[in-house]
Structure 1
Amino acid sequence: MAIAFLLTSTSSFAEPPTKTIAPKNIILMIGDGMGPAQIKAYRLYKDNLATAGVDPITLDAFLVGTLATEPAAAADADDHVHSTYIVTDSAASATAYSTGQRTYNGAVGVDLERQPMSTVLEQAKQVGKKVGLVATSQIVHATPASFIAHVDSRRKYNDIADAFVDNQLNEQPLLDVFLGGGWRYFKRDDRDLTKELQSFGYQIVRTRQELLTASKKVAGLFAEVALSPAIDRTDDEPSLKEMTEAAITRLDNPQGFFLMVEGSQIDWSGHANDIAGVVNEMDDFHQAIQAAIAFAEKDGDTLVIVTADHETGGLSIGRNLEKKSVYAYNVAPIKGLEQSLPAYQKEILATRNNRAFLQHSGIELTDDEQKQWKEISKKLEKEAVWKWLVGVMSRATLTGWTTNGHTGVDVNIYAFGPGATAFYGYHDNTHVGQAIRRWLTPK
């Protein structure tokens, strides 16, 4: 049964600060968990030490403003709004981008009463544009889900997967292209969505090689759940850049398109307090941004918007050690790594030694870290090894963390192309969805 989606306005949207001609194509790129410190860490990681100062990254040229990310305020049973500031999750923030309205944490495309709200992807399809989703997580994860599904909980992965078939216009699924992980949610005992997609003309692709030669209408599911961390991907898994380019190639048409691209695993590295993972996932995302900008520069009628749903980890560039303020930051240990920290963890558990990690990172252990390792090596428990790895890496790089969760800091917004001026300054995250909706409203 097709899901009926809404196209009625759900709130009174403020006019953008500058009147602009609606762009033909819109590419919205979301770095999950990418706060200002994550961008700074990546900039330092990419810096050419042979030049004076810190070199800018491509993204820096397109900074236009900042966004507040809070979800709708929670209320208790007596409808008293709590005074505590509520930090968003990915579902609430992505729904703000997709609908132009705030909602509660965990909500996917629904309002506070759990009623469906129309998304910009649905609206783009209604006005004749092609639409697509790309992510390095499972494609049913909170951020991509908030553009195609309407469910009351982000954890209902099977229900979200069903929407990739059931959310239809003119008896056809909405999406022209979707690429990411999540095979297990589409090939299920209770429902085989892969066969249903094929009956609608989709080509199902499982590898990078298949993607590069795929047809126009493609569903890419490159992993059972999420793709491998960027640094660990084999030739069988596409990079985010390759998926972005493949999606753009298949969506580009005279009527235009809407594409959402997520750098999903920046957030996961932040949750794990893994600075090496953060910068490697940032690199994967930044290369995808460069590909989108290159297309927009050539096309001339494409708006590229880059932002984040929230910051993760409370990352700081610099930290105190042994109660001394150390005004420095060191990216050298990250540059030597040949695989992700989870891969080193697995290797340590299998080989019962940490030589590869220490050799590649160039880290010299402190006396305390050597003592910790001696105790850990007696049992080699998975969690203890991980805590030691990220602790050593954070100490060696002078990276600080305040949490394993999200924070409420404002995130940056970048824009290039027609319509970029609509995002100048400071806004709520709902402003992004509101501006896109206006451009997609049938005249």
Structure 2
Amino acid sequence: MHAPQRHTVAIGGLASLVALGTMAAAIAVPAAPQQDAGPERSAQLAGQIDPAKPRNVILIIGDGMDDSVITAARNYEYGAGGRFPALDALPFTGAMTTYGLQAGAGPDYPIAYVSDSAPTASAWSTGRKTIDGRISQGPSAASTTPGVDYETVLEKHHAAGKRVGNISTAEITDATPAAAGAHISQRGCQGPADAARSCAGEAKPAGRGSIAEQLVDNRIDVLMGGGRSRFQQATTAGPTALAYAQSRHGYRLVSDAAELDAVTSLSDGPVLGLFANGNLTPRYRPLVATAAGAGGPDTTCTPADRGTQPDLSTMMEKSIALLDNPDGFFLQAESAMIDKQEHASDICGAIGDLAELDETVAVALDYQRTHPDTLVVVTGDHAHSTQIVAGNPDDGVQRATVRTADGDPMTVAYSTNAVGSDHTGAQIRVAASGPQAANVTGVIDQTDLFHTLLGRAPSTLPGSGTPGPGTPGPGAPAPARPSASVLAGASALSTKALARRGLRVVVAAAGATTVRVRLVQRGRTLASRATRAAGGTLTLRTRKATRGPVRVVVTAIGRGGVATASDTVRVSRR
């Protein structure tokens, strides 16, 4: 875990790196003065409005991600004055309502002000409201009575000839990924045996079958997450759902990060990544809130042992590489353990998956910079009960305290259950970048997002062709391309040292608005941090490295493009 950072040292260029000499000397600077307001942004935002229909659509979901947990994770990772370099940089932001329906006689179904992930995910997937537990299927008189199947955004894009992908840190058969490519009355019918018990009328051969069977029947090109145990259940025909996926649809199974790295194209068939029997492991080990208060002013989150599982940003990089084609693609990615760990009142688990979501957004935006016809949308499915509180003994049913990047204690509380926590009905953030991204601004409903993901009929901007105030006119010089350099503080170190002390790094950048530093080994991101636009010093720690070379990669992003630089460190065994 990174050490608290109250100040960042800015380095002006490569010459400054050389002048540093060794990394041992500590550099202290006074606190920065208050920043000025910066330029008026209307022209800049106007320049990012693009009414064209997107060719590619990337939807990134933080399950249970509302403004409270975003703020808690931001405070912890970057401090109260910090910002997530990708999530908080999206130019268009709005609020989204998440209410659903209750079962009943219809056609006017009662409102459910607090919904679970099945109807909320179904809302943006189909453009229609439904009831709790229902997967892309309409409401009905009772939860056990199937409704009418609604075609999803993923299915529509696939039918139009686009490649499609669906990845998650949960079981890939869980509610949010299921809503993209399955239709069933109860979200628990994930595998064939589950469906036979709880959704008998919808099981094969009479019905569409379990969620696992439906996802592969839809021949989703890239399908990755947890949930191996669901695919190991036997179908009514005898073989397991996994064997069915392989024999009937030609899916190639990948089971860990190394096998995923080896896949280079879809020419040999669609890809099914099953990296755990259940959900994937969160980035941080749990810190579970209690009535007495867990953690304390010096508590920090500890990295978990995730074994050979890829993280979500790695799955995103690979998915984009496989799906990219002239006809376009649709990709849904879910950072699911935000919600799972919020249910468990585990603040560290939720923070880690939100930090991982930000890194995943950064991967999507990196692709978008060279493929500007790509729409990137980031949102949640519903709100949750994580609240930042003053830390008094009577603040919340359960409390936990951690030390943030400011070096100060932050207390969170959960108050919806005596043990664990649950969803709330508050509106949530939705943000976007790229063609038609402006449609997420204001207050929208999840069903409205469906139309943006599908691509709306393009409109004509008022005064098209006339540059606004502050907008470069014809012949104006293009913004300068950013520059970047990086120097690792050691040429070699052990896996133990990299996990405990970390690797100190000095970064220099110019002409950038966002600068991110990653440790990369065999194509897999082991650790990632952001620094200021001019660069700075930081420490990267990871327990995921193995023996061999590890690259320190800096990516500087600015109005003039993207610049990268790298340095290499050799890692030995303990």
Shift, 1:291, TM fit: 0.7
Give, in whole Å, the separation in 2 of the partners of 1:244 and 1:148: 18
Runs of 5+ unmatched residues, structure 1:
1-17, 168-172, 337-361, 363-395
Residue 206 of structure 1: aligned partner: 255
Please give the alpha-carbon distance, in whole angstroms, between the structure 2 residues aligned to 1:129 and 1:78.
Answer: 36
What is the correspondence of 1:269-288 to structure 2 with a 5 Å cutoff?
A: 269-288=341-360
Residue of structure 1 in register with 2:392 after alignment: 321
Please state how far the C-alpha of 1:437 moved relative to its aligned partner: 2.9
| 440 and 229 in structure 1: CA distance in 2 versus 1, 3 angstrom threshold | farther
Name the CA distance, whole Å, in 2 between partners of 1:315 and 1:117: 33
**Superposition deviation, residue 265 in structure 1:** 0.6
CA spacing shift, 1:322–1:181, aligned 2, 3 Å: closer
Match of 1:238?
310
Q: Which residue of 1 aligns with 2:137?
A: 110
Q: Please, what TM-score do these two structures have when normalized by structure 2?
A: 0.57
Q: Which has the higher strand share?
A: 2
Query: In 2, distance between residues paired with 1:56 and 1:208?
Result: 26
Question: In 2, Cα distance between the equivalents of 1:35 and 1:273?
Answer: 15
SS at match of 1:412: strand
Paired with 1:108 and 1:413, the residues of 2 have a C-alpha distance of 22
Distance 1:192 1:78, change over 3 A: closer
| 1:430 counterpart = 2:457 | no
Give 1:164's aligned residue.
215
The structure-2 alpha-carbon separation of the partners of 1:206 and 1:34, relative to structure 1 and needing over 3 Å to count, comes to: same
Cα deviation 1:139-180 (Å, max 9, x = unaligned): 00000000110000001011100102333xxxxx2x000110
Instruction: Name the residue aligned to 1:196.
Output: 244
Provide, for residues 177-229 of structure 1, a one-character-per-residue CA deviation record: whole Å limited to 9, x for no partner.
Answer: 01101111112233323223223332110111000012423110001111112
The aligned residue for residue 410 of structure 2 is: 397
Compute the displacement of 1:81 (Å).
5.8
1:66 and 2:66 are equivalent in the alignment = no
1:157 aligned counterpart, secondary structure: coil
CA gap 1:330/1:402 in 2 versus in 1, 3 angstroms: closer
**For 1:36-75, what aligned pairs fall within 5 Å after superposition?**
36-47=67-78, 53-62=81-90, 63-72=92-101, 74=102
Name the amino acid aligned to 1:293: L
The whole-number CA distance in structure 2 between the counterparts of 1:411 and 1:195 is 40
Q: Is the 8 A contact 2:50 2:435 kept in 1?
A: no
**Does residue 182 of the first structure (1) align with residue 227 of the second (2)?**
yes
% same residue:
34
- Pairs within 5 Å for 1:3-402: 20-47=51-78, 53-62=81-90, 63-72=92-101, 74=102, 86-113=113-140, 114-158=147-191, 159-167=210-218, 173=219, 175-190=220-235, 191-199=239-247, 200-214=249-263, 215-216=265-266, 217-231=270-284, 232-312=304-384, 314-322=385-393, 331-332=402-403, 397-402=410-415
Q: 1:408 is matched with which residue?
A: 425
Task: Check the 8 A contact 2:234/2:241 in 1, yes or no.
Answer: no
1:321–1:295 distance in 2 versus 1, CA, 3 Å: same
Distance apart, 1:331 and its partner CA: 3.9
The structure carrying a bigger helix percent of its residues is: 1
User: Please, which moves more after superposition, 55-64 or 28-37?
Assistant: 55-64
Could you tell me which amino acid in structure 2 is paired with residue 400 of structure 1?
Answer: A
Matched residue SS, 1:321: coil
The alpha-carbon distance between structure 1 residues 81 and 303, as it changes in their structure 2 partners (threshold 3 A), is closer
Letter in 2 for 1:422: N
Inter-partner Cα distance in structure 2 for 1:77 and 1:123: 30
- What do the CA deviations read for 1:227-279 (whole angstroms, capped 9, x no partner)? 11223243410000001111111000000000000000100111111111111
- Alpha-carbon deviations, 1:102-161, whole Å to 9, x = none? 111111010114110000000001111000100001000000000110000001011100
What amino acid does structure 2 have at the position aligned with 1:32?
D
Instruction: Specify the code of the residue in structure 2 equivalent to 1:255.
Output: D
- Whether the aligned pair in 1 keeps the contact of 2:78 and 2:406 (CA below 8 Å) is no
**Alpha-carbon contact 2:126-2:152 (below 8 Å) kept:** yes
Select between 227-236 and 118-127 the one with higher mean Cα deviation: 227-236
Q: Deviation of residue 440 (structure 1)?
A: 9.6
Q: Say whether the 8 Å CA contact 1:138–1:227 is kept in structure 2.
A: yes
Q: Deviations over 1:268-294 (max 9, x none)?
A: 111111111111111111111111111
Distance 2:356 2:320 in 1: 17
Unaligned runs of 5+ in 2: 1-48, 141-146, 192-209, 285-303, 459-574
Give the distance between the partners of 2:422 and 2:254, measured in 1 at CA.
34
Q: CA deviation at 1:35?
A: 0.6
Report the secondary structure of 2:435's partner residue.
coil
Q: In structure 2, do the counterparts of structure 1 residues 147 and 78 end up closer, same or farther at CA, with 3 Å as the change threshold? A: closer
Q: CA separation of 1:203/1:71 partners in 2, compared to 1, >3 Å: closer, same or farther?
A: same
| 3-state SS in 1 of match to 2:94 | strand
Q: Is the Cα–Cα contact under 8 Å of residues 44 and 331 in structure 1 kept in the other structure? A: no
- TM-fit CA distance, 1:436: 2.3
Native 8 Å contact 2:216 2:245 kept in 1: yes
CA distance in 1, matches of 2:64, 2:446: 14
Take 1:440 and 1:253, find their aligned partners in 2: how far apart are those partners?
A: 22
Could you tell me how far apart the structure 1 residues matched to 2:108 and 2:352 are?
A: 43
1:233/1:251 CA distance change after superposition, 3 Å: farther
Is the contact made by 2:103 and 2:131 (CA closer than 8 Å) also made in structure 1? no
Q: 1:234 to 1:152 in 2, by over 3 A?
A: same
Paired residues of 1:68 and 1:427 also in contact (CA < 8 A) = yes
Give the 3 Å change call, closer, same or farther, for CA 48–320 of structure 1 in structure 2: closer
d(CA) in 2 for partners of 1:333, 1:38: 14
Normalising to structure 1: TM-score of the pair? Answer: 0.74
- Tell me the SS of whatever aligns to 2:316: helix
Which is worse superposed, 106-115 or 147-156? 106-115
| Paired residue type of 1:250 | L
Gap change, CA 1:275 and 1:123, over 3 Å in 2: same
CA–CA separation in structure 1 for the residues paired with 2:251 and 2:104: 46
Shift of 1:55: 3.9
CA RMSD of aligned residues (A): 2.7
